[in-house]
Chains A and B, each alone.
Chain A
């Protein structure tokens, strides 16, 4: 069964700290992996998309890595700010389930001023 797991479920850090969010998936045969941000009661904002042939993607203070063989991705947030507080979702498109983007349950991040 193709599943996506995110650990931890919730994380609270002081402002300015660097942090890492984890995503693991059960099948290494993937098209791509996408990280999203979701604010309470709102839709999803795409942060980074990593194709299966790529190892990482960077956007500003965000860096996402992909290790297909171990079924893992990390989202690194540098110099965290209170505005980064949100739920971060990892979504994987598996090779043999090609219309279904499977989502993790998310990590709820709180950055305290």
Chain B
């Protein structure tokens, strides 16, 4: 595997379900990101991790819970979601965080989430 991978690619869940999205980067990067892309809205940054430490939480509801066990893996745990949470969830990584020179971000293919 190369680059940034995400699983699953598609997910349909009910409002009472608990599920997790997984992201893995094979680029040796230190920073990882979760983004949400809703229809007809710009990408929204959700969380940033740098060296496994969360450095940014953009006022995301607590029904989204990130986890970063190491610099290569990032999870997004989902519970009690709402239909308006249906979106494409994108993971990205960069060598450093966006305040450094090495912050070109590389994206995974995304997980298309539908909440019924």
A interface, CB within 8 angstroms of B: 4, 31-32, 34, 36, 41-46, 49, 51, 89, 91, 93, 98-106
Contact = CB atoms under 8 A, between A and B. Distances in A.
B97 A34 contact: no
A99 B99 contact: yes
Given A41-B110, A99-B56, A105-B42, 18 more contacts: A4-B42, A31-B98, A34-B104, A36-B107, A42-B109, A43-B90, A43-B109, A46-B104, A46-B106, A46-B107, A51-B101, A89-B43, A93-B98, A98-B97, A99-B98, A101-B105, A102-B42, A103-B42
Contacts, number: 59
Interface of A is mostly: strand
Interface in B57-116: 58, 88, 90, 92, 97-99, 101, 103-110, 112
Interface of B: 4, 6, 40-43, 45, 48, 55-56, 58, 88, 90, 92, 97-99, 101, 103-110, 112
A101 B93 CA distance: 12
B108 A31 contact: no
A103 B109 CA distance: 17
B45 A101 contact: yes
Contacts of B98: 31, 93, 98-101
A99 B99 CA distance: 7
